Amino acid sequence: MVALIVALLMLGLSPVAALINRRSGYIACSAGSAVFVYYGMTNYSNELSLFYVAAGLVWLFTSVYSLYYDHHRWLGPLYTSSILGMAIALTTNNLLVFLAGYEIMTIPAYVTIGLYKKTDYSAFVFMGFGELSTILILAGFLYSYVVTGSLSFSPLTTITPFMIAAFGFMVKMGILPFMVTEWLPIAHGNAPSNVSAILSASMTLVAVYGLTKMALLTPRPDLFGFILLGVGGFSVFFGAFYAYVSDHAKVLLGFSTVENNGAILTSIGVYLTAPTHTLASFSLITIAVYVLAHSLAKTGLFLDTGMMENESLILPRILKNRLSDVGGVLLASSMSGLLPTLGGVATWALLESLFMEAYTLHSALSIIPIVTGSIIAMGEGFATSTMLKFIIFAHIFNKRSSNEKTRPLILLLLGLLILAGGSATYIFYRPFLAGNPALGLPFGLIASEFSSQAFGAISPLYVLILPSLIGALVIAVFGKPRIRRSEVWNSGAPLNEAYTSFAYSNNIRLMLGKLLLTHIGRDGVKVVDVFWSLTHTVAKLFVSFSRHFSRTYMNSRLSWYVIYMILALIVFTVVVVA
Amino acid sequence: MKTRLIGEMGGYLLYSDHLEEIKTTKNTSNTSQEGSGRPVGSLIFQYGPATGGLIESVGMNIETFGEYIRTISVEPYKMRTISISRSIEDLLLSVERVNGNFAASHVTAFLTALENAYGVTPPRDVILGRVAQIELERIRNHLLVTQRLTEHAGFSVPSANLLYLVEEVNRVIGRAFGHRYFYGVNTLRGFRMDWQLDLPTLKNIVDEFQEVYRGILDNRVFIDRLQGNGLVSIDDSIGPAARAAGLMYDARLDGDLAEVYGEIGFNISRADSSDAFGRLLVRGQEVSESLRLIGKLNIRAQEYEAGWLDAWEKDIKGFTGGGLGRVESPSGDLAYYVGIHKGTISKVLLLPPSKVNLRLFCSSMTGNVFTDLPFNWESFGIWMSEVGVEFV
């Protein structure tokens, strides 16, 4: 508890310190974040504690990075205020304080986006949907208060508060159909890289935390659980799909966040609908591992974009540095769901839990997790291609020379953390550890289980160790590989063209043109986010209707005022009598 | 018959019934057009000239966003100049080597231009012999084009089968004319023929081709690569490309040999799809039609009567004038203009079918994807060897 108080004090002081001196604000925030991580590790009671570790690590790395990145007067105070809000929301058990923290987190982010705006509406879209999220959560909390009579997070006897609040959290997570508003990518597209990192990695983490916390307190609802499971699956697919066809580095990463949040939501769905306690426990751990994997990797990748000269992947021009190259590859591997990284374990566990659920349900309902699993698998395919695109065009092509070491080192550290994190998951999956002596693996396996019987298994440790050992052995025996470099042969013609990131993903723009409403014109190929387009149309219709309604019926005429009063009186009387 | 534009020839536009000096600039470049400037994300992908996949060295600059081809320009890699300052016999050897696959067509068009310039009409048997050679060339070429299409589809068995049939046609030609590409066969005096044309073997070849052809037409995977690929519907197209678009364009109807073709009962082959599939259908029909025409010709070696040639040679030194010769090569109209000044050749203009087809190919590639490129290319039956040729 002392650690938590110290952490909150330091985080609380950091905005004030940042107002006086930008660097001191970031230092205070870094120190507070480090203590927050310590608090999460030393007070590990259940899977929710892992959220503290994840959030603390994101803030720590981002704050240290900001020391070498931020040159804007107001960014420091706003950034640290937002982190303070998140810390409050994560650590409180009071519903109202949670909401207060939630707003403290959102409003500075809105101001930051407004300060860095490229378009007038991006900050308003962010704020509009941020407040929609808050209103829904508030409604859910109020209903919770009505049911329990307590303003604390308390066990519920009905799922309604959870359902209402869940929609609020899902808006914040950018889940389908709220993805269509594109607030997340738009907001990130305009925000500085350090703010983007906390927006994407830890702000959505707070929403996931709230959703998971409510889910733990709610009777497990079958139908709504399946809805969350399915919606999560489609979010994975569409998030990855739109990320793949994006050439703006931050928009790409923003859509990738939608994809990851979709995966987390699916895992929450599995938890709510799991037929066995073992499977529920497995999926709960998976939620936490997914959150940790996404938070760290997404932080690193957003910080990576801070080293680009511009945000377009077509011509990114990134710092030429081996450290950031290695870090970037490791982070992208995790986001691609590749072993032995943290993301690899999380993706495996999610798919395993879906297939285990389908197996254990053993009914027509099995089709839901099977179809969802298949959709997620397709989405993961897009995710891998997306990350490959990001790394190729951000780290291999178009480099610019620089002697900077600190920021690339931060990226490398995050990459190594995510690599080692894969093997650290043994700690979280403790009840599911196993070995298979017959295969020469006496220990070191994480076995997915839905009852006492193992369903499948992986070993991130062996995947980490074996290639390294074999590689080291090969080098020891044969020596360092000789690399022969030759000039690029371009059919005898001078080499003055380069493959573009746009071309990389254009096959999908053409093949899935009906889904993306691909338009090929003189200016190039354009795709449309159909969900955003639909939302935009509905919003415009609503505005038009409101304007018409207000001019016709709310135009300050006395006659209409009297009619309102009479109607209100009638409604009031009916309600009272009823 | 309606006058049609065939193509640009030197500083002239060649129509089906006249040659007209170019007064206004018209787009005849080998570049497809889709707006100016380069959209963000596009790149120029260079295909060739030393890249595999195509028979000849071809340099293509493909502007693409990835998969989608926005514009394409094709440059003849092998530019050749042929000197006209030599004897007609020597020049004839160069003409037949402009494009070995169409040697008979080139020589016939060249000789016809020369004969038209002098106002000489060759004996009917000589004309029939030239028609037979062009039709044999057509059979071989259409077999080869079909083979190229099957090769790009990865159909090894029909591809090998068709290559074998091409070789068989070559042997039939070689046995009858002494050279499988008609080199040295045609002269000012007529044409050489060593042996009777082996029509039964030729019939067997065509029958076997039709069997293979029907087989590949039954294959949905193959058809999918051709249908809708390389749509050509512009009016100034030629050859199988024009006929695939349903146009009645054929030099056998309005060219220098039209009269003979009319007498032997030539039937034009057409389709209505304007795409690579339509072009394949036209070629498939034309193989059988060419065989039928050859069967009716009953050709034999023939030379000019001495009187014709004597009169000609006597008049050469003082002659000044020019003539145009146009025939229907396997890929479309092929024309030569020969100008003569005081008995010596002063100007030779060439309009090879591949030049027009190259323009058609480029215009039809906008909006296509990379996978379709080789199929569309082969469907036009373009030979780059005849595109970069200039007579000086």
Among residues A402, A419, A437, the one where a domain terminates is: A437
3-state helix, strand, coil in chain A (%, to 5): 75, 5, 20
**CA A435 to each of CA A286, A447, A462, A465: distance values in angstroms, whole numbers, following the listed order:** 20, 8, 12, 16
Is B66 within 8 Å of A504 when comparing Cβ atoms?
Answer: yes
Locate tokens 């090998």: which residue? B160
3-state secondary structure of B211: helix
Is A500 within 8 Å of B45 when comparing Cβ atoms?
Answer: no
Is A506 within 8 Å of B66 when comparing Cβ atoms?
Answer: yes
Among residues A372, A405, A437, the one where a domain terminates is: A437
Lowest-pLDDT range, A416-430, A516-530, B150-164?
A516-530
Chain A residue numbers with beta carbons less than 8 Å from the beta carbon of B44 are 497
Q: What is the pLDDT of residues A152-181, one digit of tens each?
A: 999 998 999 999 999 999 998 888 777 655
Report the gap between the CA of A130 and the closest CA in chain B (Å): 33
Position with higher pLDDT, A198 vs B270? B270
- In chain B, the residue whose alpha carbon lies closest to the alpha carbon of A314 is B41
3-state secondary structure of B272: coil
- Domains in chain B, start-ordered, CATH in brackets? 5-391 (1.10.645.10)
Report the gap between the CA of A412 and the closest CA in chain B (Å): 30
Report the gap between the CA of B330 and the closest CA in chain A (Å): 31
**Amino acid found at A39:** Y
Angstrom distance (rounded) from CA A315 to CA A248: 10
Confidence of residue A412 (pLDDT cuts 50, 70, 90): very high
Find the farthest-apart pair of alpha carbons in chain A and give their distance in angstroms, rounded.
96
pLDDT at residue B207 in the model: 97
Angstrom distance (rounded) from CA A20 to CA B113: 93
Using the predicted structure, report yes or no on whether residue A563 has a pLDDT greater than 90.
no
Chain A residue numbers with beta carbons less than 8 Å from the beta carbon of B45 are 497
The beta-carbon neighbor of A506 closest among B44, B59, B65 is B65
- In chain B, the residue whose alpha carbon lies closest to the alpha carbon of A504 is B66
The beta-carbon neighbor of A523 closest among B39, B59, B67 is B39
Burial group, residue A269, by CB count within 10 angstroms (0-12, 13-18, 19+): buried
Using the predicted structure, report yes or no on whether residue A12 has a pLDDT greater than 60.
yes
| CA atoms within 13 A of residue B244's CA, in its CB half-sphere | 32
Q: What is the pLDDT of residues B206-258, one digit of tens each?
A: 999 999 999 999 999 999 999 999 998 777 899 999 999 999 999 999 999 99
- In chain B, the residue whose alpha carbon lies closest to the alpha carbon of A494 is B46
| Pairing of β B332-341 and β B58-66 | unpaired
pLDDT at residue A370 in the model: 94
* CB proximity B46 to A under 8 Å: yes
Asked if A169 and A260 sit in the same domain, the reply is yes
Chain A residue numbers with beta carbons less than 8 Å from the beta carbon of B39 are 522-525
* CB proximity B35 to A under 8 Å: yes
For residues A323-341, average pLDDT: 91
Among residues A397, A413, A437, the one where a domain terminates is: A437
Is B41 within 8 Å of A510 when comparing Cβ atoms?
Answer: no
* CB proximity B366 to A under 8 Å: no
**Which of B51, B56, B61, B65 is the best residue to mutate to test the A interface, defined by the most A CB atoms within 10 Å of its own CB?**
B65
Q: Complex ipTM above 0.85?
A: no
Burial group, residue A480, by CB count within 10 angstroms (0-12, 13-18, 19+): exposed
| Pairing of β A524-526 and β B5-9 | unpaired
Angstrom distance (rounded) from CA B158 to CA B295: 26
Angstrom distance (rounded) from CA B326 to CA B334: 6
* CB proximity B40 to A under 8 Å: yes
Asked if A235 and A108 sit in the same domain, the reply is yes
Residue A405 lies in a domain: yes
- Tell me which residues of chain B have a pLDDT lower than 70: 1, 24-37, 50-52, 301-317
Chain A residue numbers with beta carbons less than 8 Å from the beta carbon of B47 are 491
Residue A484 lies in a domain: no
- In chain B, the residue whose alpha carbon lies closest to the alpha carbon of A495 is B46
Q: What is the pLDDT of residues A260-316, one digit of tens each?
A: 999 999 999 999 999 899 999 999 999 999 999 999 999 999 888 888 877 788 876
Contact in structure between A425 and A345 (CB atoms under 8 Å): yes
| Pairing of β B12-15 and β B80-82 | unpaired
Chain B residue numbers with beta carbons less than 8 Å from the beta carbon of A491 are 46-51, 59
Angle formed at CA B123 by CA B122 and CA B128, multiple of 5 degrees:
100
> Domain residues for A313?
2-437
Contact in structure between A72 and A230 (CB atoms under 8 Å): no
Classify the C-alpha dihedral A470-A471-A474-A477 as positive or negative: negative
Question: What are φ and ψ of residue B304, in 5° steps?
Answer: -60, 150
**What residues of chain B, 145 to 204, have a C-beta less than 8 Å from chain A?**
none
3-state secondary structure of A491: coil
pLDDT at residue B27 in the model: 55
Residue A488 lies in a domain: no
Angle formed at CA B34 by CA B33 and CA B35, multiple of 5 degrees:
110
Report the gap between the CA of A524 and the closest CA in chain B (Å): 5
Chain A residue numbers with beta carbons less than 8 Å from the beta carbon of B66 are 500, 502-507
Is A493 within 8 Å of B59 when comparing Cβ atoms?
Answer: yes
Is A491 within 8 Å of B46 when comparing Cβ atoms?
Answer: yes
pLDDT at residue A76 in the model: 85
Angle formed at CA A25 by CA A108 and CA A48, multiple of 5 degrees:
65
Residue B25 contacts by C-beta under 8 Å, 6 or more apart in sequence?
Answer: none
Is A490 within 8 Å of B367 when comparing Cβ atoms?
Answer: no
Contact in structure between A500 and A314 (CB atoms under 8 Å): yes
Report the gap between the CA of A313 and the closest CA in chain B (Å): 10
3-state secondary structure of B391: strand
Angstrom distance (rounded) from CA B106 to CA B338: 13
- How many distinct structural domains can be found in chain A? 2
The beta-carbon neighbor of A500 closest among B34, B41, B46 is B41
Locate tokens 């590689």: which residue? A471
* CB proximity B34 to A under 8 Å: yes
pLDDT at residue B121 in the model: 85
Angstrom distance (rounded) from CA B19 to CA A224: 79
Chain B residue numbers with beta carbons less than 8 Å from the beta carbon of A502 are 40-42, 65-66
**Which of B34, B38, B67, B368 is the best residue to mutate to test the A interface, defined by the most A CB atoms within 10 Å of its own CB?**
B67
Q: Which two tokens stand for residue B144?
A: 């080869």
Position with higher pLDDT, A561 vs B337? B337
Q: pTM of the entire structure? A: 0.82
Contact in structure between B327 and B255 (CB atoms under 8 Å): yes
Asked if A398 and A521 sit in the same domain, the reply is no
CB pairs A-B closer than 8 Å? 68
Contact in structure between A513 and B65 (CB atoms under 8 Å): no
pLDDT at residue A90 in the model: 92
The beta-carbon neighbor of A503 closest among B34, B43, B46 is B43
Q: Which two tokens stand for residue A517?
A: 């409403």
Report the gap between the CA of B371 and the closest CA in chain A (Å): 11
Angstrom distance (rounded) from CA A201 to CA A302: 9
Q: What is the pLDDT of residues A230-261, one digit of tens each?
A: 999 999 999 999 999 988 888 888 899 999 99
Residue A418 lies in a domain: yes
Q: Which two tokens stand for residue A107?
A: 């409003």
Residue A467 lies in a domain: no
Asked if A433 and A523 sit in the same domain, the reply is no
Chain A residue numbers with beta carbons less than 8 Å from the beta carbon of B40 are 314, 502, 524
pLDDT at residue B149 in the model: 96
Report the gap between the CA of B156 and the closest CA in chain A (Å): 27
Locate tokens 């200039």: which residue? B390
Q: What is the pLDDT of residues A449-486, one digit of tens each?
A: 888 778 888 999 988 998 889 999 999 999 988 889 88
Residue A463 lies in a domain: no
* CB proximity B47 to A under 8 Å: yes
Contact in structure between A330 and A304 (CB atoms under 8 Å): no
DSSP code at position A481: P
Using the predicted structure, report yes or no on whether residue A82 has a pLDDT greater than 80.
yes
Is A504 within 8 Å of B43 when comparing Cβ atoms?
Answer: no
**Which of A312, A496, A506 is the best residue to mutate to test the B interface, defined by the most B CB atoms within 10 Å of its own CB?**
A506
Short-list A152, A109, A112, CA closest to A131: A109
Short-list A421, A231, A381, A194, CA closest to A305: A194
Q: Which two tokens stand for residue A446?
A: 């994480």
3-state secondary structure of B302: strand
Report the gap between the CA of A396 and the closest CA in chain B (Å): 17
pLDDT at residue B50 in the model: 64
Locate tokens 């208060």: which residue? A145
**Which of B33, B38, B46, B368 is the best residue to mutate to test the A interface, defined by the most A CB atoms within 10 Å of its own CB?**
B46
Residue A265 lies in a domain: yes
DSSP code string of A249-284 = HHHHHHHHHHHHHHHHHHHHHHHHH-SSHHHHHHHH
Asked if A528 and A416 sit in the same domain, the reply is no
Report the gap between the CA of B185 and the closest CA in chain A (Å): 38
